[in-house]
Structure 1
């Protein structure tokens, strides 16, 4: 009797440890998948930003922490890259190891308030443009590739083509709903699809 109880305890312990092991494997796989998703999102976000040369920026993700390596032209670009990545869902921290390769020391030493305001404004505008462009590209009801997004001092200008008035209204609403946007200028044109005419 004691031997059978002992056997059951040993079998139970082995089963529990095996189950725990499979749970650990499942959790590690889930974390790995989440990190891969964040990594892809970070690369796409940096790529869609017209103010950054994303090909010189590398992203690596470990348990939600994004590590940025590579090089940028100035300190504004370095801060911009960090700001954009930090706003991605699931990111817990950003380790910004980007190297500034072309910092204009003489201008940086002047340190005028206007220069700082200009740099901050440029950073905010670039962030707004990236957020709007990403949302347009992610929305299945809009052809985001046909829409250009320009931002100056929080004022957004949308240019390009859409397939319907409803698409135009949706694009404008997406732009208006982005943080820090002060105004949206709609220069979008509704173009009926004429693929048959073009092919001739």
Structure 2
């Protein structure tokens, strides 16, 4: 199952900042991963896990990645498959370039869909953003580097992807999305994050 790009945590933001400082100083060591870690031996059990983390780390930094995009990826051995939807062609190209720079990647399948360049869809995106992130209780999801509720618009059809804290927030987001004029349909694919107790019970 493809992995969806999630918002950066505070820890991840610090890692990204540190990486940028090191790279700008010219001390980045080639032969290491994007996060400065030495990759495990290719073909080993740990290599695929390492590469999965590296790909996610690089994709979250794609310059034009926004709340109107849905980047996903999967890793099999040293092969990376990119999927999802973006509304700007440059984002598709930048995603591939970012992954291409990771040591050990032997093949990239870029299946990212570039959404139609429609003025009506652009209008719907703006209206959906105001409707969802302007709702009391949902405003907190707009905080951070990348908001956690993504709004994908294609030919007047809206799909919500990402994560929320509870079922009520998921329901409110769907109701707000359906309130926007000129929208033909709304698919609510938001996932409710497991609670800490649920996460611990699975260990």
Which TM-score applies when normalising by structure 2? 0.38
Which TM-score applies when normalising by structure 1? 0.39
Structure with the higher fraction of residues in helix conformation: 1
Q: More relative contact order in 1 or in 2 (CA 8 Å, sep 6+)?
A: 2
